[in-house]
């Protein structure tokens, strides 16, 4: 059951082959045995979780079921969930009990899903290895000496080790896709504005987007049906008709034009990852797709642009953590300024401070035009690159990350090398496009992800493209040794 | 040296919406601390702002009222700074592209008209309040006010005296209430003026260094503060000193302005467009919809009063100085049905005097428009004289009833029966032979004496015009 698809779990629940409480307990037991080592979860609340499962069983008994009713999901600890501790991976919010539900949490609750717990993450989603979490590093289930990727590293490890049916994540520069690649599962970052950001703790508002992280594309489609939809509480949420993301899963791929950006296969990509990705693309040709060479000329600029815009927004978004109303406050201070300085110095970790400093700098009088404004202009050029590319293809493919999972500590002292982890994912956020990563094989026994980038609102087609591949391959069904 | 003062105003008007500018929390004044602070007001992690459409309509209304450009696209920006009453660590305001652009407001200063140019008006949120002293050794934060919608209205440095600045502020204060976007309550902080004052040698084009007087909450204080500040700046310069840019506070007890502790360097607010809010787009149709619900503006109403009621320009201007007064006047005219000038005389004269004396707004006048019309009717039909009417009005003010009741109760009814008046005249003529003789000898003054005697004999009730007429006939 732990390796079953969401559809299979739903069917088993409906057929009363298993109850939601039993299914939940199955995962709770796995968490108990595996989580102490993996550290995928920050907060567990068995009583609350089981109470939800019992309610789901009541719904199931009445026949009042949605496709995820009774299924236990892990929630990234960036989503406020009422009465749950919500830390965002930071000491700043170590004791923060959210008094309200994020939109995403609401959607899962209404659908009758069960919240298994809050998953570990890089502090305020700033990181690509889950090493910046105040609550400790997360280990990659495929090799526990390695990182799971980040920032949704807890959700990633939880899926890879089957410590949940599926999980939520957020992706500001690759935080769903890069861990999906490093942990060997399927993750989708939707078009900006498809999933409401209400109640999702902000890192960089114009880039943040929540999405599903699951074993398969089909599971992601089922979850996106739950998560997507207009929410009037988020002004950047898009007012569109509700769509069924599972509708095109089984469409044939014949005639599909896949664009291969030359910049994604250039220097910086490890040879073994390149091989796996090329093999996957070759498989698509067999499925009837054709490939075309395209160019995204401003790819190299996406990292510097991102590291101006994201810290700028973050520096302002994180100003509310001042120790006045909630969150960490220094035990002793002499005056107001001292209280601010000490509370923030103690509450935030090094990477968060680094980004606040960068962001404050680039927004400062005299630097704004040269950095922030210039970055916004280049951001537009990056979006235009994709616009031009999609004139020649239906979908873009490439690697999700330049390499496989790296060793814990390997890049911790080298921020630039860490930032380069997101070289293939960041441009998608800057353009607001949807992107996903699917398991495409292994290199040296470590998972490799294939990235699929779609045009705006093309999630259904991307899921179709991914699903077709997953019908013929079993990479997504493989589990780390010793975790069965 | 001859000095010239240069004044510009920034006015924060609190908009009359039901809820906050970016959330559904109430903005009602006077609630218990933090009972109107929802998750957005507290700036909990993860919350997002949603713009209140009513606040935008208020801004459009104002733009229309001052003939300003209304931006088809304006931007909300974050103004970043740390303060305990600023929950997000930034204020959402408008910076580079405000919703209302250049406009103007014409005000009456004495018998001169003065046009003040409006630079811009932008939407923003108010901060909360720090509460000191409620708890020993601690400061409290009340976030009820955080997120209250404000329209900040900025003028060019067009005013050249305290009188002009106050006239502008009063006119603006009246206008925002007239178009119903602000309740105008200065004590509760619904209308707060910051005044920028600088001086320069008369004839100089170059602006002097300005100091900003913050948060003046009455026109009287504004007048005093500007006058004091102007003199202080002139004295300083004449003594060879220099003016440093500063924010100053007015102390109503001493009548002085004093610089707040000046910061070493100016704050860098790191403005940037708020990524949580889309650009505010206003279409011509949006503007038309607001236009359709705009009340008649003071200028238009003034012209109409001159045309429709034949009021002199002065009266029309005075009556339309406030919406409440204009409404009162119209209600009086409608109930009265007589000469409009009579009504404007009473509203501008006795009524306004009594209201001022009592410190009352016209909407709270103890004499209603209908009651005043009742009085005017009795004057028009000669039941009472103008002089008697003043006494009746006093009694009405004191709550003794309507005009007719008071006239009847006090027996003030004017005698207009010519037979009765003739009898009085005959009696007076008989009793005052000396005066009659004097009049006949050519002493005109004696006639007035005889009129006076007749009025006295009638206890003031005789119709003076009739007394005059009959006396003249009898003495001819």
Q: The complex's ipTM?
A: 0.96
| Domains held by chain A: number | 1
The answer to whether A320 contacts B275, with C-beta atoms less than 8 Å apart, is: no
Collect all residues of chain B within an 8 Å Cβ-Cβ radius of residue A100. Answer: 39, 44
A460 alpha carbon, distance to own chain's centre: 18
**Strand partners of residue A10:** none
What's the confidence (pLDDT) of residue A155?
98
Residue of B nearest to A323 (CA): B84
What's the confidence (pLDDT) of residue B262?
58
Provide the residue count of chain A: 484
Q: What is the CA radius of gyration of chain B?
A: 30
Q: Which domain holds residue A436?
A: 1-484
Contact by Cβ (8 Å): A149, A31: no
User: Is the minimum CB–CB distance between A328 and chain B shorter than 8 Å?
Assistant: no
Reply yes or no on whether A155 is catalytic.
no
User: Is the minimum CB–CB distance between A306 and chain B shorter than 8 Å?
Assistant: no
Contact by Cβ (8 Å): B152, B10: yes
Collect all residues of chain A within an 8 Å Cβ-Cβ radius of residue B270. Answer: 315-316, 360, 363-365, 368
| Catalytic residue selected from A19, A129, A151, A155 | A151
User: Is the minimum CB–CB distance between B268 and chain A shorter than 8 Å?
Assistant: yes
Closest CA to B450 of B465, B432, B430, B466: B432
What's the confidence (pLDDT) of residue A357?
98
User: Is the minimum CB–CB distance between A123 and chain B shorter than 8 Å?
Assistant: no
**Sheet containing A446-454: which strands, arranged edge to edge?**
A41-43, A114-119, A72-76, A166-170, A210-214, A186-189, A435-443, A446-454, A395-399, A257-261, A290-294
Strand, coil or helix: what is A48? helix
Report the DSSP pairing between strands B191-201 and B3-14.
Answer: antiparallel
What's the confidence (pLDDT) of residue B264?
45
Collect all residues of chain B within an 8 Å Cβ-Cβ radius of residue A202. Answer: 45-46, 276
| Catalytic residue selected from A76, A118, A342, A411 | A76
Nearest to A200 among B46, B84, B272 (CB): B46
The answer to whether A99 contacts B84, with C-beta atoms less than 8 Å apart, is: no
What is the rounded (10 degree) CA torsion for A48, A53, A56, A58?
-100
Burial grade of A333 (CB within 10 A; 0-12, 13-18, 19 or more): middle
Closest CA to A41 of A117, A149, A128, A152: A117
DSSP B451-471: HHHHHHHTTT-B-HHHHHHHH
Closest CA to A429 of A383, A466, A463, A393: A383
Could you report the average pLDDT of every consecutive run of 10 residues in chain A (484 residues)?
96 97 98 97 98 98 96 98 98 98 98 98 97 98 97 98 98 98 98 98 98 98 97 96 96 96 94 97 97 97 97 98 97 95 98 97 94 97 98 98 96 87 96 98 97 98 98 96 82
The answer to whether A86 contacts B45, with C-beta atoms less than 8 Å apart, is: yes
Question: What domains are there in chain B, each with its CATH number?
Answer: 3-288 (no CATH), 296-410 (no CATH), 418-475 (1.10.10.410)
What's the confidence (pLDDT) of residue A65?
95
* DSSP structural state of residue B348: I
User: Is the minimum CB–CB distance between A253 and chain B shorter than 8 Å?
Assistant: no
Collect all residues of chain A within an 8 Å Cβ-Cβ radius of residue B268. Answer: 364-365
Round to whole Å and give the CA distance between B172 and B13.
10
What's the confidence (pLDDT) of residue B266?
64
Torsion-angle region of A174 (φ positive above 0: left; ψ -120 to 50: alpha; else: beta): left
Round to whole Å and give the CA distance between A162 and A139.
14
Reply yes or no on whether A181 is catalytic.
no
Question: Which pairs count as long-range contacts for A225-228, CB under 8 Å and 24+ apart, including other chains?
Answer: A225/A67, A226/A66, A226/A67, A226/A68, A226/A107, A226/A108, A226/A111, A226/A113, A227/A104, A227/A107, A227/A108, A227/A168, A227/A190, A227/A195, A228/A190, A228/A194, A228/A195
Tens of pLDDT, residue by residue over A184-238, are: 999 999 999 999 999 999 999 999 999 999 999 999 999 999 999 999 999 999 9
Closest CA to B151 of B129, B184, B108, B128: B184
| Best residue of A78, A309, A317 to probe chain B, by most B CBs closer than 10 Å | A317
The answer to whether A236 contacts B39, with C-beta atoms less than 8 Å apart, is: no
What's the confidence (pLDDT) of residue B459?
77
Closest CA to A348 of A321, A308, A325: A321
Collect all residues of chain A within an 8 Å Cβ-Cβ radius of residue B49. Answer: 235
Tokens of B355: 């209201």
Question: Which domain CATH number covers A9?
Answer: 3.90.1300.10
Residue of B nearest to A319 (CA): B89
Round to whole Å and give the CA distance between A317 and A202.
6
Collect all residues of chain A within an 8 Å Cβ-Cβ radius of residue B82. Answer: 319, 322, 340
Q: Which segments of chain B have a pLDDT < 70?
A: 261-266
Round to whole Å and give the CA distance between A464 and A249.
4
Reply yes or no on whether A139 is catalytic.
no
Shortest CA gap B31–chain A (Å): 19
| Catalytic residue selected from A20, A133, A155, A175 | A175
Whole-Å CA distances, A335 to A326, A340, B131, B429 = 18, 9, 16, 93
User: Is the minimum CB–CB distance between B30 and chain A shorter than 8 Å?
Assistant: no
At CA B155, angle to CA B152 and CA B160, rounded to 5? 140
């Amino acid at each position: 059951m732990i390796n079953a698809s969401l559809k299979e779990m739903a069917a088993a629940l409906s057929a009363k082959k298993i109850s939601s409480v039993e299914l939940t307990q199955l995962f709770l037991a796995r968490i108990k045995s595996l989580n102490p080592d993996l550290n995928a979860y920050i907060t567990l609340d068995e009583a609350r979780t089981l109470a939800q499962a019992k309610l789901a069983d009541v719904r199931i008994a009445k026949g009042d079921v949605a496709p995820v009713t009774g299924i236990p999901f892990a929630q990234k600890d960036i989503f406020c969930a009422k009465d749950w501790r919500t830390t965002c991976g930071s000491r700043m919010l170590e004791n923060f009990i959210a008094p309200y539900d994020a939109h995403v949490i609401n959607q899962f609750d209404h659908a009758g899903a069960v919240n298994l717990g809050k998953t570990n993450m890089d502090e305020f989603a700033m990181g690509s290895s889950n090493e910046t979490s105040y609550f400790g590093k997360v280990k990659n289930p495929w090799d526990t000496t390695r990182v799971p990727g980040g920032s949704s590293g807890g959700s990633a490890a939880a899926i890879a080790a089957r410590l949940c049916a599926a999980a939520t994540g957020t992706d500001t520069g690759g935080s769903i896709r890069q861990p999906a690649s490093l942990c060997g599962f399927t993750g989708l970052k939707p078009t900006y504005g498809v999933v409401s950001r209400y109640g999702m703790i902000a890192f960089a508002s114009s880039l943040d987007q929540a999405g599903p992280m699951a074993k398969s594309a089909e599971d992601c489609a089922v979850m996106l049906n739950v998560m997507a939809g207009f929410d009037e509480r988020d002004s950047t949420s898009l007012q569109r008709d509700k769509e069924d993301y599972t509708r095109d899963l089984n469409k044939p791929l014949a005639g599909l034009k896949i664009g291969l950006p030359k910049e994604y296969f250039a220097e910086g990509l490890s040879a073994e990852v390149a091989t796996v990705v090329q093999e996957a693309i070759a498989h698509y040709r067999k499925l009837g797709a054709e490939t075309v060479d395209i160019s995204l000329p401003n790819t190299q600029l996406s990292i510097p642009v991102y590291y101006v815009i994201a810290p700028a927004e973050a520096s302002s978004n994180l100003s509310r953590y001042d120790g006045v109303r909630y969150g960490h406050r220094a035990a002793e201070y002499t005056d107001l300024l001292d209280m601010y300085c000490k509370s923030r110095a103690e509450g935030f970790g090094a990477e968060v401070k680094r980004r606040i400093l960068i962001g404050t700098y680039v927004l400062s009088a005299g630097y704004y035009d040269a950095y922030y404004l210039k970055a916004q202009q280049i951001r537009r050029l990056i979006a235009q690159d994709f616009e031009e590319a999609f004139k020649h293809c239906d979908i873009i493919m490439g690697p999700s990350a330049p390499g496989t999972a790296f060793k814990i500590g390997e890049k911790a002292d080298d921020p630039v090398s860490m930032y380069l982890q997101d070289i293939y994912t960041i441009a998608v956020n800057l353009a607001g496009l949807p992107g996903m990563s699917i398991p495409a094989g292994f290199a040296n026994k470590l998972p490799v992800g294939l990235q699929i980038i779609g045009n705006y609102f093309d999630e259904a087609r991307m899921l179709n493209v991914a699903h077709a591949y997953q019908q013929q391959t079993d990479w997504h069904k493989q589990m780390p040794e010793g975790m069965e | 040296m001859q000095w010239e003062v240069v004044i510009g105003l920034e006015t924060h008007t609190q908009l009359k919406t039901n809820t906050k500018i970016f959330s559904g929390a109430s903005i009602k004044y006077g609630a218990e601390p933090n009972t109107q602070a929802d998750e957005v007001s507290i700036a909990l992690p993860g919350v997002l702002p949603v713009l209140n459409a009513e606040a935008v309509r208020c801004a459009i209304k104002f733009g229309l009222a001052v003939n300003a450009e209304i931006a088809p696209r304006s931007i909300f920006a974050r103004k970043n700074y740390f303060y305990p009453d600023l929950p997000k660590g930034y204020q959402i305001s408008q910076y580079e592209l405000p919703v209302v652009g250049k406009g103007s407001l014409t005000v009456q200063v004495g018998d001169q008209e003065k046009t003040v140019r409006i630079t811009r008006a932008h939407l923003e949120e108010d901060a909360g309040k720090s509460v000191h002293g409620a708890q020993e050794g601690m400061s409290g934060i009340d976030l009820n006010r955080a997120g209250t919608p404000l329209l900040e209205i900025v003028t060019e440095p067009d005013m050249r005296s305290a009188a002009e600045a106050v006239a502008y502020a009063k006119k603006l204060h009246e206008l925002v209430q007239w178009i119903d976007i602000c309740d105008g309550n200065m004590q509760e902080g619904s209308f707060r003026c910051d005044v920028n004052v600088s001086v320069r040698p008369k004839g100089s084009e170059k602006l002097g260094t300005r100091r900003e007087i913050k948060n003046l909450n009455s026109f009287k204080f504004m007048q005093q503060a500007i006058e004091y500040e102007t003199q202080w700046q002139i004295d300083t310069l004449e003594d060879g000193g220099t003016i440093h840019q500063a924010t100053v506070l007015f102390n109503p007890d001493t009548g002085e302005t004093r610089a707040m502790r000046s910061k070493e360097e100016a704050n860098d607010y790191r403005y940037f467009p708020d990524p949580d809010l889309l650009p505010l787009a206003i279409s011509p149709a949006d503007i038309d919809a607001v236009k359709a619900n705009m009340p008649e503006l003071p200028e238009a109403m003034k012209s109409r009063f001159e045309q429709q009621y034949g009021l002199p320009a002065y009266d029309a201007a005075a009556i339309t100085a406030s919406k409440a007064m204009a409404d009162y006047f119209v209600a009086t005219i409608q109930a009265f049905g007589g000469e409009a000038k009579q009504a404007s005389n009473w509203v501008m004269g006795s009524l306004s005097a009594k209201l001022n004396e009592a410190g009352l707004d016209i909407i709270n006048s103890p004499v209603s428009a209908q009651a005043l019309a009742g009085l005017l009717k009795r004057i028009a039909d000669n039941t009472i004289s103008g002089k008697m009417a003043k006494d009746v009005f006093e009694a009405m003010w004191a709550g003794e009833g309507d005009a007719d009741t008071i006239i009847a109760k006090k027996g003030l009814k004017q005698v207009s029966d010519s037979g009765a008046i003739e009898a009085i005249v005959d009696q007076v003529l008989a009793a005052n032979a000396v005066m009659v003789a004097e009049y006949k000898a050519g002493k005109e003054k004696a006639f007035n004496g005889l009129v006076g005697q007749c009025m006295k004999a009638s206890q003031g009730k005789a119709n003076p015009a009739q007394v005059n007429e009959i006396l003249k006939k009898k003495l001819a």
